[in-house]
Chains A and B, each alone.
Chain A
Amino acid sequence: MIKECLVIRIRELKLNTNIWAMLSMVSILFITLPNLNILSNVFNEPNENWLHIKEFLLKEYVINTLIIVIFTGFFTVVIGTSLAWIISIYDFPLRSFLKWGLILPLAIPPYIAAYTYTGLINYTGLIQSTLRNKFNISVNQSYTDIMSIEGSIFIFTMFLFPYVYTITRAFIAKQSASLIETARVLGRSPLAIFWFVILPLSRAAIIGGTSLVILEVINDYGVVQYFGVTTFSTAIFKAWFSLSDVDTAIKLAGILMVIVFGILLLEKILRGGKKYSYTTTKVRPITRIKLSGLKSALAFGYSAIIFGLGFLIPSFQLIHWAIITYNKVFDAAFLQLMLNSLLTASVASALIITIALIIANYSRISHSIISKIIARLTVMGYSIPGAVIAIGVIVFFIAIDNNLFWLYKWVKEDSVKLVLSTSVFMLIFAYVIRFIGIGFNSVESGFEKVGKKFFEASRTLGMSVTQTFFKVDVGMIAPAILTGFILAFVDIMKELPLTLILRPFNFETLATKAYQYAVDELIQEASIPSLIIISISFISVYLFHRVADREEN
């Protein structure tokens, strides 16, 4: 008995200390170190600014944040999962387009969407001015005011639901069709199957997607600032920008980080052993039910309305503005901006997926609590506003530069000290810290679905962990890998706060160009860079969809 136990222990030790563990530890170290700087501020003595914020602002800010988070979370789950389900099991007109088209709302930065919707429906907007000038109808302004808590919930829902949709759909797509078919044979209606089979099975994916939405909502500052809605991030930036107290700002951000991290860890522990994975090795695609008549119209209408609100309408508005401002704004320099955006986004996304794979693979193989904590740590960078992360990254890189100065001098005698921290390397590193959580959530839900049976079988057959990873695992979770890559890519394309603070000299991306105009209340001029971001995301989502589709079949 004792001997047996010992053998198991040794085997576990071996599993825990292999190359995967090493790589994971190193990656997570780099990801968390810059954030530690932020966390260390949590214990700062509260000063008068802190007390001021606590006394006058915090209560309202927290309540507003909770309202927005709860409602956005609820609506994105409803919209995201229902669309994932409809698209996965039904056939109806334009389904194969909508299948990937529904990811596209993610391509539009929420703050641009906020400006766009405001510009569309306000007094000088297309709708009201047409009504006024052509039909002499004037609209009550209070009906067209989108700048409110409800408005921000609408914007966040319409432009973030694809996180839930994409991750859940990738999950259902590879869900053993036999489960669904068995339920069908046993006489369950599609709705009942959704309710009692798919929903419980997809829990990990839905929670993964929703937590991304919620994190994005919590750390948003663009939308809420424009709409005049005060949230927790308002407190952070009020301390920093208005009260010139960056320490209090970081302290607030650190507290936010601890809370978010705690909730995510708690969720993972509570879910604990409940894991659902393939029951059979025969994974077939789902046979879709062809809808006709009213049902078909309903399924199509529902998906089309969401697609319209989240993508078509704002895109058309942006195109309209682009036509007006084309002469003034567009020039050859945009080619360079496109190249910058594309390069940084693809390099960073590739790094993210690689690291996500390493950590996810390690955390599923190892049983240690450390591996579970490591897994949760990946979302650290996604839980607080990017501007605060940026401070941590600057401090970290200046420290590296200080320590590597001898090396720079050795390479080049008259080298300056700040080499890495004035290069695009720092920015890419920051992207990885920020968005690793997105790649990781996708990859992790892929692994959770596959389970460990195949991994164990392969190990029993004499393959090493690494061989198994390349020969078995990567193939099985390919759609999840692709999903993670696209999500990270699209997110980095539109990333703003990190790029603004950390960019090297003369480095401009499409997102910073759009911001340049939008911040100056020139939303019409911001339309061209925004549209290019959207087009690049459009093309890449389409290409990846082609690859993923081939994988699925």
Chain B
Amino acid sequence: MKKVSRILATAILALSLIALTGCGGGETANKEEAAKSTANESKVVNLYTDRHYDTDEALYKIFTEQTGIKVNVVKGKSDELIERLKREGKDTQADLLITADVGRLHKAKIDGLFQAVSSEILTNSVPENYRDPDNQWFGLTVRARVIAYAKDRVDPAKIAAYDDLTKPEWKGKILVRSSSNIYNQSLLASFIDINGEEKAKAWAKGVLANMARRPEGGDTDQMIAVAAGQGDLAITNTYYYGRLLASDNPEEKKVAESLGLIFPDQNGAGTHINISGIGLTKDAKNKETAIQFMEFLSSEKAQKQFSENNHEFPVNPKVEMSELLKSWGDFKTQNIKLAKLGELNSHAVKIYDEIGWR
């Protein structure tokens, strides 16, 4: 017994030694890599992103094949990446930040993490309303927040506007996720901008009163609950519906097929949208390759992939949309400055908290 334990103790000691030297090795490897990156500056681009899609990874690969530029990636949550960028300051190795919410892009801009990019290719492929007025960030994809309804029991003509969700006839019929979710926060922030704080609050109260259950789960869970009969209407982002329709689980496919989508406010302010987008960091070390990468992501080829594989709307108007997206037809979007969504985000959160939408 003693022998075994001694072997054990030695093993652990040895392991920790390996650990120390191992880390030392990692360090030098890292240094070499860093050195390489300074030597052939044009050959890498370093990216922080909170988009976690396989589509994106496929695009990085295509970019590397096309240009020989390696894409180094750290994937994380947007607020955490922004915090890391802030703390790393001017020494950061990140050249680009991608977030899946315009509010975060705005925040990064306010925090002085971005710099302006002047690229004709970018300004040509990204329409003005999808980019920062100072060209510090550029939209890549558009997602709309819409209403999914049960085809067998809801007349879609009855819900033309987001405001219709507050009508008493939908009491106990509405399914929506928690207010801690950014998409719900942006939605309310857009109403604050368009209709003012009072009306936005009244809307949130009205929806809260009509909820079929306590907010729980994600957008997909809300759609499943409609199919299961727990309610009639679910608030969801468009691409979750697209994914449900393309699911490998036949039951989930059936759910999507039993639902229809309503793009609200077509006769009013327009359907709420948010974007995911990209910005060049203030102290980017690989500025040229970074801009090249941004241009690539806005190109028709990349934009087509976003639309085909991830069911997002491309920002580039020249791109032909996927069959599914085309089937939804053209729709009118809210005509507001997207940066407003970021500015008003905390107002929206506070309204949700005050009225008790968890």
Residues of A within 8 A of B (CB): 49, 52, 56-57, 118, 122-125, 129, 141, 145, 147-148, 225-228, 230, 234, 237-238, 240-244, 246, 324-325, 328, 343, 346-348, 350-351, 353-354, 387, 390-391, 394-395, 398, 401, 408, 411-412, 414-425, 428, 470-471, 474-475, 478, 481-482, 485, 500-501, 503-508, 512, 515-517, 519-522, 524, 547, 550-551
- A354's contact among B12, B248, B254, by CB below 8 Å, is which? B12
How distant is B2 from chain A, measured CB to nearest CB, in Å?
A: 5
CB-CB nearest in chain A for B52: A516
From residue 180 to 214 of chain B, which have CB atoms closer than 8 A to chain A? 180, 182, 185, 213-214
- B15's contact among A324, A325, A346, A421, by CB below 8 Å, is which? A346
Docked complex Cα distance between A123 and B234 (Å): 15
| One of B72-80, B112-120, B121-129, B292-300 at the interface | B72-80
Leading 8 A-B pairs by shortest Cβ distance: A228-B216, A123-B228, A350-B15, A505-B72, A475-B5, A147-B216, A124-B251, A347-B19
Docked complex Cα distance between A505 and B345 (Å): 30
Docked complex Cα distance between A482 and B12 (Å): 10
How distant is A495 from chain B, measured CB to nearest CB, in Å?
A: 14
Q: Can you offer 26 A-B residue contacts whose CB atoms are under 8 A?
A: A118-B221, A145-B216, A242-B346, A324-B248, A346-B15, A347-B16, A350-B12, A350-B16, A391-B83, A412-B31, A414-B38, A416-B38, A419-B30, A419-B34, A474-B5, A474-B6, A478-B4, A482-B8, A500-B77, A501-B84, A505-B72, A516-B52, A519-B52, A521-B220, A550-B4, A551-B1
B345 with A226: CB separation less than 8 A: no
A424 with B12: CB separation less than 8 A: no
B72 with A506: CB separation less than 8 A: yes
B152 at the interface (CB under 8 A from A): no
B317 at the interface (CB under 8 A from A): no
Cβ-Cβ contact count across A and B, 8 Å cutoff: 220
B156 at the interface (CB under 8 A from A): no
Q: How many residues of B contact A (CB 8 A)?
A: 79
How distant is B23 from chain A, measured CB to nearest CB, in Å?
A: 4
Residues of B within 8 A of A118 (CB): 217, 221
Residues of A within 8 A of B76 (CB): 500-501, 503
Docked complex Cα distance between A405 and B13 (Å): 30
A238-B349, A243-B349, A324-B249 are contacts. A421–B224 as well, Cβ < 8 Å? no
CB-CB nearest in chain B for A505: B72
A524 with B218: CB separation less than 8 A: no
B43 at the interface (CB under 8 A from A): no
A424 with B23: CB separation less than 8 A: yes
A141 with B13: CB separation less than 8 A: no
A52 with B353: CB separation less than 8 A: yes
Residues of B within 8 A of A512 (CB): 75
A52-B350, A242-B345 are contacts. A228–B88 as well, Cβ < 8 Å? no
- A415's contact among B26, B34, B74, B83, by CB below 8 Å, is which? B34
Residues of B within 8 A of A141 (CB): 225, 228-230
CB-CB nearest in chain A for B111: A244
Most B Cβ at <10 Å: residue of A226, A241, A387: A241
Docked complex Cα distance between A524 and B244 (Å): 12
- B213's contact among A123, A145, A419, A422, by CB below 8 Å, is which? A145
CB-CB nearest in chain A for B29: A423
Contact with A along B88-121 (1 / 0, CB 8 A): 1101110000000000000100000000000000
B9 with A470: CB separation less than 8 A: yes
A521 with B225: CB separation less than 8 A: no
Docked complex Cα distance between A148 and B81 (Å): 30
A122-B224, A412-B31, A425-B27 are contacts. A354–B16 as well, Cβ < 8 Å? yes
Residues of B within 8 A of A428 (CB): 19, 23
Docked complex Cα distance between A551 and B107 (Å): 57
Residues of B within 8 A of A519 (CB): 52
A123 with B9: CB separation less than 8 A: no
Looking at chain A's contact residues, the main secondary structure is helix
Q: A398-B91, A505-B46 are in contact. List 4 more A-B contacts (CB 8 A).
A: A242-B180, A471-B2, A505-B93, A524-B249
Contact with A along B329-358 (1 / 0, CB 8 A): 000000000000000011001100110001
CB-CB nearest in chain B for A422: B93
B91 with A551: CB separation less than 8 A: no
B324 at the interface (CB under 8 A from A): no
Residues of A within 8 A of B73 (CB): 505-506
Residues of A within 8 A of B315 (CB): none
B22 at the interface (CB under 8 A from A): yes
From residue 25 to 43 of chain B, which have CB atoms closer than 8 A to chain A? 26-27, 30-31, 34-35, 38
A419 with B217: CB separation less than 8 A: no
A547 with B4: CB separation less than 8 A: yes
Docked complex Cα distance between A347 and B252 (Å): 42
B153 at the interface (CB under 8 A from A): no
CB-CB nearest in chain B for A401: B91
B12 with A124: CB separation less than 8 A: no
How distant is B193 from chain A, measured CB to nearest CB, in Å?
A: 17
Residues of B within 8 A of A412 (CB): 31, 35
How distant is A24 from chain B, measured CB to nearest CB, in Å?
A: 16
Residues of B within 8 A of A416 (CB): 34, 38, 91, 93
Most A Cβ at <10 Å: residue of B22, B53, B74, B93: B74
Docked complex Cα distance between A425 and B52 (Å): 24
A240 with B38: CB separation less than 8 A: no
Residues of A within 8 A of B1 (CB): 475, 478, 551
Residues of A within 8 A of B75 (CB): 500, 508, 512, 516
CB-CB nearest in chain B for A122: B224
B255 at the interface (CB under 8 A from A): yes
B15 with A551: CB separation less than 8 A: no
Docked complex Cα distance between A238 and B185 (Å): 12
How distant is B37 from chain A, measured CB to nearest CB, in Å?
A: 8
A503 with B74: CB separation less than 8 A: yes
Docked complex Cα distance between A346 and B22 (Å): 12
A129-B251, A141-B228 are contacts. A56–B79 as well, Cβ < 8 Å? no
Docked complex Cα distance between A21 and B91 (Å): 37
Docked complex Cα distance between A500 and B48 (Å): 11
Docked complex Cα distance between A148 and B215 (Å): 10
- B224's contact among A123, A240, A411, A515, by CB below 8 Å, is which? A123
- A501's contact among B80, B217, B255, B346, by CB below 8 Å, is which? B80
B162 at the interface (CB under 8 A from A): no
B240 at the interface (CB under 8 A from A): yes
Docked complex Cα distance between A230 and B91 (Å): 37
B243 at the interface (CB under 8 A from A): yes
- B74's contact among A52, A343, A414, A505, by CB below 8 Å, is which? A505
How distant is A343 from chain B, measured CB to nearest CB, in Å?
A: 8
A241 with B79: CB separation less than 8 A: yes
Residues of A within 8 A of B92 (CB): 418
B177 at the interface (CB under 8 A from A): yes
How distant is B57 from chain A, measured CB to nearest CB, in Å?
A: 9
